[in-house]
Amino acid sequence: MANQKQKGSPTARRYTPDEKAQAVRLVRTLRDELGTSHGTIQRIANQLGYGVESLRSWVHQADVDDGLLGGTTTSDAQKLKELEQEVKELRRANAILRKASAFFAAELDRPQK
């Protein structure tokens, strides 16, 4: 029984950007054809064998990236992540420089023999 997949349990499957983009296009096409968004994500997710919440988040992020919804775009999130990493590295470098400066200042203040 431990080897059987239970409904709702997470998988380790990773989707390529092309697979994600195709699924988002299918959802948008179905929404346009039906004139409603109700049930379209679940229908496409079931047809493709993808998780409903995964597809829902892809569609939401695609809507944000395309300016249809407000929020942080993928490119902005990537830039923010890079800037946060840079700030972290600069703070670490400043801490090292402060310690080195204090060390050398103490050496200069020490009386000569």
List the pLDDT tens digit at each of the 113 positions of the chain: 344 445 555 566 789 999 999 999 999 999 999 888 899 999 999 999 999 999 999 999 999 999 988 999 999 999 999 999 999 999 999 999 999 999 988 888 777 76
pTM: 0.68
The pLDDT, as a whole number, for residue 77 is 95
- State the helix-helix crossing angle for 17-34 and 52-65, rounded to 10 degrees: 80
Q: In 10 A of CB 42, how many CB atoms? A: 13
The pLDDT, as a whole number, for residue 8 is 56
The pLDDT, as a whole number, for residue 76 is 94
d(CA 103, CA 85): 27
- State the helix-helix crossing angle for 74-109 and 52-65, rounded to 10 degrees: 80
- CB of 111 closer than 8 Å to CB of 102: no
The pLDDT, as a whole number, for residue 13 is 79
